[in-house]
């Protein structure tokens, strides 16, 4: 894997009266989005012999880690909750990942079990939601091509780590652009306190989507762009003219989306 793949700046497109940050155009091992780049950056100096991760059954993380493991020809084990496997987790299983399911409970317990297994095996643990400082580094410079005409950034938030990176990027590039974060899952304040720059409260407004996290049948096409049905789709109602919609990624199990090339 070439280092420049991780550091390339993804494009910004203008369609209609909106701007779109196309992080979904970052592609590696057949998966798309900033979370793929975050995972690669986290692993770049580790030379793993195997990967262990933990994730929600609806999250694309397990599938991303599984596809990177297949690309590198190393084994992968993933911890998630009991219940019917989502298309994402089934795809991870199909490319060789071993799926370990636990009774639903606190994510901290799920993560602890995954970490303990990684330590026992001598494998690398990929944090739940890519919650680690390494995930901020490859994303914060992605603000560098934001046009001066942009009035506001709108981004859907799961773990909140990409939001933290955006805020760091705005701070370091001295860009005073307001951010609207649409929370689609659990509260992200803990992550912001730990990983975002001081004064983040003055940089971002957080709103909660009225829809349950797992709801995936909302409209998910805007200006011809197909967006993730669980994350970005819940942010669409909040967009207004002059906004930059920060598209973090799109899950592999979405069968129809624009052709994407390796950056």
Three-class SS state of 189:
helix
- CA pair distance 240, 88, nearest whole angstrom: 31
Q: Which of 10-19, 96-105, 215-224 is predicted least confidently?
A: 96-105
pLDDT band at 2 (very low <50, low <70, confident <90, very high): low
Taking the C-alpha atoms of residue 65 and residue 41, their distance in angstroms, rounded to an integer, is 12
Q: Which of 64, 176, 221 is nearest to 130 (CA)?
A: 64
Q: What is the pLDDT of residues 61-79, one digit of tens each?
A: 999 999 999 999 999 999 9
Structural domain boundaries in the chain: 3-32+133-250, 37-130
H helix runs in 122-160, sequence order: 137-140
Structure tokens at 139: 């994303």
Q: Please give the CATH architecture assigned to the domain spanning 37-130.
A: 3-Layer(aba) Sandwich (3.40)
**Closest CA relative to residue 25, chosen from 235, 229, 227:** 227
- Rounded CA gap, 198 and 167, in Å? 10
Instruction: Give percent above pLDDT 70 in the chain.
Output: 95
Q: How far apart are CA 74 and CA 48, in angstroms?
A: 8
Q: What pLDDT score does 4 carry?
A: 61
- State the CATH class of domain 3-32+133-250: alpha beta
Whether 3-32+133-250 shares its CATH topology with 37-130 is answered: yes
pLDDT of residue 107: 81
Yes or no: say if 222 and 230 are a contact pair by the CB < 8 Å rule.
Answer: no
Q: What is the average pLDDT score of the chain?
A: 93
Considering the chain, what percentage of its residues have pLDDT values greater than 90?
Answer: 88
């Amino acid at each position: 894997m070439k280092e420049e793949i991780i550091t390339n700046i993804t494009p910004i497109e203008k369609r209609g009266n909106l701007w779109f940050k196309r992080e979904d155009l970052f592609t590696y091992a057949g998966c798309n989005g900033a979370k793929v780049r975050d995972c690669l950056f986290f692993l770049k100096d580790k030379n793993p012999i195997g990967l262990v991760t933990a994730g929600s059954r609806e999250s694309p993380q397990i599938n991303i880690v599984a596809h990177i493991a297949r690309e590198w020809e190393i084994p992968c084990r993933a911890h998630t909750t009991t219940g019917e496997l989502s298309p994402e987790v089934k795809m991870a299983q199909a490319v060789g990942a071993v799926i370990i399911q636990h009774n639903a409970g606190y994510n901290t317990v799920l993560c602890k079990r995954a970490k303990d297994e990684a330590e026992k095996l001598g494998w690398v643990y990929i944090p739940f939601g890519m919650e680690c400082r390494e995930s901020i580094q490859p994303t914060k410079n992605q603000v560098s091509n934001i046009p001066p005409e942009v009035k506001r950034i709108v981004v859907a938030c799961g773990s909140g780590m990409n939001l933290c990176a955006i805020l760091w990027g705005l701070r370091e590039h001295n860009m005073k652009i307001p951010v609207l974060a649409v929370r689609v899952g659990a509260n992200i304040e803990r992550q912001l306190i730990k990983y975002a720059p001081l004064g983040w409260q003055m940089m971002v407004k957080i709103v909660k989507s009225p829809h349950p996290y797992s709801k995936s049948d909302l409209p998910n096409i805007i200006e011809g762009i197909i967006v993730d049905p669980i994350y970005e789709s819940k942010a669409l109602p909040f967009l207004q003219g002059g906004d930059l919609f920060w598209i973090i990624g799109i899950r592999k199990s979405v069968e129809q989306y624009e052709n994407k090339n390796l950056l």
